[in-house]
């Protein structure tokens, strides 16, 4: 890198320029649908597509208000117009309404009806058809408004809700960047005092985001990647990219003020800060690699985004930034603000002396420092034991979205069960479901048992549509038979519509009860098998898989980080202490998450009045993986500088304050930027991102204040020479060199 830095920087620059155009189109390839590989819900979806050839594997609900009742001649006439035009739309595989099935399920309370529209798409995610349906619904509204002034047609269901979540995600990204970039620029101007020095870290963050999104957009054409990539790539890119470049620029300026020219200073910065950045990026990447082991598209997407962002951030900072700094030289201070004095040795010494005095206070009273800082931390961490990781109930979807408004309309009609239905596939080996008495009786038995449950609104199957009479099967349309009966006749779909009053939590519990009861008990056939799909089943599978992977992911993150620290410090105590402190930081941030979001204390300030009652299952596992790596940065900076001071001959009493004098300013600046970045995303409309942003912001705040500048130094003082066992102070191994901040 020293000898060929311009060639290497040139190659990286070419790669960046080549990738940038793809970043503008990444969003269209990302999915909002959640996929849980190998889950029952996913298997049911595949069975309906390949074995049933159902036209309604993917479907939307068109909610119709403002026309006469569907069972009146005028209502039928309006429905005929709507259905006829829907059938002509590309991607529409099936349409069913009151016209096709004279069923009271289509007659909502207080008027109104709905139309089920099946969709199929081969060239892009099926949700890409939603805008076309929105446009067609508005055209139909205009066409019918002359006869029915109050007519309203709105789309809802899993696909439209996912589409609106995509829009909310994009809006949050734009809003987050709008808030973060000016605030971050101000912090960088305060830290450096010059425009040029401040712009470099900001540019690295933006380039890291763009290149990471470009690669994920390309990969999304082959893989199922979640829309959460947008939010996490932006959040982490601004945080990591800016922090890493901040470290490099700070070290470069320090070398300049020590009397080196621009070329020599860039070599020193790249050699010393670069080593620290590689260690830091490795600890961050460990957490994201662990997320790849969870078979859920959202979590794997976050893991991939994190690896790309961390990789690009450290690559850019170790290649392009040193080359640019070498060219700039002392012009790094160009655009100096008039109210900021030029940084010199005296000012740097004064800043270091303030932190040195603070360090001496800590090492003089380590047990008192532990008591004062540790008490609130333990109390906050104690709240984490109440963490409830079930799907939050209540209205947490974006209120302005058309799909959410249509869902509320269905709720008023007492028909939300059509959106949250359970799709149960029952198979009778060796029996034809419709052509044998045993199969037919099994279907009727399932319907009767489920309908007797007070949580059930309706049960729909080929048997109920035929009125319980096998002779009526010949009157059913081919579309209906394909929807509810497999092509080999041995499996049938039974659709269970829960009552509108049933919460998401209650739906998930019901799915688990049905699965536990089993097909033989429901059907009366000993060899019958059953799989449960639909949104409630997907939520149940989602929770189960995350709960099953929490401990393995935590073990992988902790074990990998411990190994990295042992390699870096050759000290068992320093590594174990860092792990324990990180666990406490994570627990405290989870405790704050419980208090604010779950219990609702102050949640109205974040746009979530009354709290959510529980936390999305993916939030703790994702936050743990991210926080553990980010927090370790500050530990590496501090402990490495203390070890360096000890090897230079200082006593433990002097080495700890010296290490703090060299690193505390950098930790404070880096943490302030991280907190601003993460906090900006707590004010969006995407509740999952709100929770993640809040947790990360609190974790960094706790870690950079109570943990790294109070508890950490106090523990170093108490441990004494045990800090460096078994490597010892005379070890010749390489250690990561921490950097001093301005």
Is the distance from CB of 598 to CB of 619 less than 8 angstroms? no
Please report which helix (H) or strand (E) contains residue 65, including its range. Answer: strand 58-65
* Phi (first) and psi of residue 424, to 5 degrees: -100, 120
pLDDT number for residue 339: 59
**Mean per-residue pLDDT for 513-540?**
91
**Mean per-residue pLDDT for 95-111?**
87
pLDDT number for residue 395: 66
Is residue 516's pLDDT more than 90? yes
Is the distance from CB of 635 to CB of 589 less than 8 angstroms? no
Q: Give the C-alpha separation, 642 to 631, whole Å.
A: 18
Which of 168-172, 427-431, 445-449, 717-721 shows the highest mean pLDDT?
A: 445-449
**Mean per-residue pLDDT for 239-245?**
85
Instruction: Find residue 199's DSSP bridge partners.
Output: none
119: helix, coil or strand?
strand
User: Among residues 41, 38, 34, 162, which one has the least CA distance to residue 422?
Assistant: 41
Q: Is 91 left (phi over 0), alpha (psi -120 to 50) or beta?
A: left
Instruction: Find residue 423's DSSP bridge partners.
Output: 495, 533
Which of 472-476, 582-586, 636-640 shows the highest mean pLDDT?
A: 582-586
**Mean per-residue pLDDT for 179-183?**
84
Domain ranges of the chain: 1-30+171-341, 55-156, 429-527
Specify the CATH number of the domain 1-30+171-341.
1.20.1640.10
**pLDDT level of residue 737 (50, 70, 90 thresholds):** very low
Q: Give the C-alpha separation, 481 to 472, whole Å.
A: 12
User: Quick one: CATH architecture of 55-156?
Assistant: 2-Layer Sandwich (3.30)
pLDDT digits (tens, 9 = 90+) for 35-94: 888 889 999 999 999 999 999 999 999 999 999 999 999 989 999 999 999 999 999 999
Is residue 167's pLDDT more than 90? no
Is residue 682's pLDDT more than 80? yes
Is residue 28's pLDDT more than 70? yes
Is residue 224's pLDDT more than 90? no
**pLDDT level of residue 741 (50, 70, 90 thresholds):** very low
- Cβ neighbours of residue 554 under 8 Å, at least 6 residues apart? 624
Q: Give the C-alpha separation, 516 to 509, whole Å.
A: 11
pTM of the model: 0.83
**Mean per-residue pLDDT for 506-528?**
90
* Phi (first) and psi of residue 226, to 5 degrees: -85, 155
pLDDT number for residue 348: 53
**Vertex 30, ends 27 and 32: CA angle to 5°?**
115
- Cβ neighbours of residue 645 under 8 Å, at least 6 residues apart? 654, 655, 658, 659
pLDDT number for residue 332: 83
- Report CA-CA distances (Å) from 75 to 81, 101, 202: 10, 15, 59
Of 88-97, 128-137, 725-734, the range with the lowest mean pLDDT is: 725-734
Q: Give the C-alpha separation, 72 to 485, whole Å.
A: 31
pLDDT digits (tens, 9 = 90+) for 327-340: 888 888 887 776 55
How far the first Cα of the chain sits from its last, in Å, is 26
Helix locations, 383-477, DSSP H? 402-412, 437-451, 462-465
pLDDT number for residue 730: 59
């Amino acid at each position: 890198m020293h000898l060929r830095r311009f060639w290497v920087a040139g190659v990286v620059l070419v790669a960046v320029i080549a990738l940038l155009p793809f970043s503008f189109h990444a969003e269209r390839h990302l999915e909002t649908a959640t996929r849980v590989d190998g889950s029952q819900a996913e298997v049911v979806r595949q069975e309906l597509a390949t074995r049933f050839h159902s036209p309604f594997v993917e479907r939307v609900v068109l909610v119709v208000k403002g026309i006469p009742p569907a069972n009146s001649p005028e209502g039928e006439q309006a429905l005929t117009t709507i259905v006829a035009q829907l059938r002509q739309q590309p991607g529409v595989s099936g349409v069913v309404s009151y016209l096709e099935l004279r069923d009271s399920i289509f007659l909502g309370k207080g008027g109104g009806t709905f139309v089920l529209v099946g969709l199929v798409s081969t060239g892009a995610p099926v949700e890409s058809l939603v805008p076309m349906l929105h446009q067609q619904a508005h055209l139909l509204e205009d066409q019918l408004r002359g006869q029915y002034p109050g007519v309203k047609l709105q789309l809802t269901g899993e696909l439209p809700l996912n589409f609106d979540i995509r829009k909310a995600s994009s809006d949050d990204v734009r809003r987050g960047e709008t808030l973060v970039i000016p605030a971050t620029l101000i912090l960088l101007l305060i830290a450096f005092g010059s425009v040029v020095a401040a712009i470099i870290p900001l540019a690295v963050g933006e380039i890291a985001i763009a290149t990471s999104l470009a690669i994920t957009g390309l990969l999304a054409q082959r893989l199922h990647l979640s829309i959460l990539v947008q939010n996490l790539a932006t959040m982490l890119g601004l945080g990591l990219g800016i922090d890493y470049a901040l470290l490099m620029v700070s070290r470069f300026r320090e070398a300049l003020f020590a009397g080196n020219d621009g070329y020599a200073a860039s070599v020193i910065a790249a050699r010393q800060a670069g080593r620290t950045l590689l260690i830091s990026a490795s600890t961050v990447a460990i957490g994201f690699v662990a997320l790849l082991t969870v078979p859920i598209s959202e979590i794997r997407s976050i893991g991939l985004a994190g690896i790309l962002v961390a990789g690009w951030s450290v690559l850019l900072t170790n290649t392009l930034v040193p080359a640019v700094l070498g060219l700039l030289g002392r012009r790094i201070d160009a655009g100096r603000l008039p109210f900021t004095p030029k940084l010199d040795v005296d000012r740097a010494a004064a800043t270091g002396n303030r932190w040195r005095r603070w360090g001496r206070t800590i090492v003089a009273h380590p047990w008192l420092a532990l008591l004062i800082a540790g008490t609130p931390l333990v109390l906050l961490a104690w709240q984490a034991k109440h963490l409830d990781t079930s799907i939050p109930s209540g209205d947490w979807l974006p209120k302005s979205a058309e799909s959410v408004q249509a869902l509320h309309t269905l709720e008023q009609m007492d028909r939300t069960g059509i959106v949250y239905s359970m799709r149960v596939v029952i198979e009778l080996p060796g029996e034809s479901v419709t052509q044998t008495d045993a199969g037919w009786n099994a279907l009727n038995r399932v319907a009767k048992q489920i309908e007797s449950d007070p949580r059930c609104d309706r049960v729909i199957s080929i048997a109920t549509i035929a009125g319980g009479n096998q002779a009526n099967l010949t009157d059913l349309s081919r579309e209906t038979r394909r929807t509810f009966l497999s092509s080999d006749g041995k499996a049938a779909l039974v659709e269970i519509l829960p009552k509108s009053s049933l919460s998401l939590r209650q739906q998930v519990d019901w799915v688990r009860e049905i699965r536990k009861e089993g097909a033989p008990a429901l059907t009366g056939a000993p060899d019958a098998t059953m799989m449960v799909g639909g949104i409630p089943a997907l939520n149940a599978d989602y929770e189960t898989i995350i709960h099953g992977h929490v401990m393995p992911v935590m073990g992988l993150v902790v074990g990998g980080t411990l190994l990295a620290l042992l390699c870096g410090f050759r000290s068992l105590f320093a590594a174990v202490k860092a792990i324990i402190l990180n666990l406490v930081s994570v627990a405290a941030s989870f405790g704050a998450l419980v208090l604010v979001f779950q219990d609702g204390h102050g949640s109205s300030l974040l746009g979530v009045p009354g709290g959510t009652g529980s936390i999305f299952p993916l939030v703790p596992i994702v936050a743990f993986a991210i926080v553990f790596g980010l927090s370790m940065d500050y530990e590496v900076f501090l402990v490495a500088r203390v070890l360096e001071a000890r090897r230079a001959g200082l006593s433990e009493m002097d080495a700890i304050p010296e290490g703090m004098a060299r690193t505390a300013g950098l930790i404070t600046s880096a943490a302030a930027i991280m907190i601003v970045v993460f906090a900006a995303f707590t004010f969006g409309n995407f509740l999952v991102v709100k929770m993640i942003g809040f947790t990360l912001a609190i974790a960094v705040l706790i870690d950079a204040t109570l943990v790294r500048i109070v508890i950490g130094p106090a523990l170093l003082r108490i441990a004494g020479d045990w800090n460096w066992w078994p490597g010892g102070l005379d070890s010749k191994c390489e250690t990561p060199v921490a950097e001093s901040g301005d």
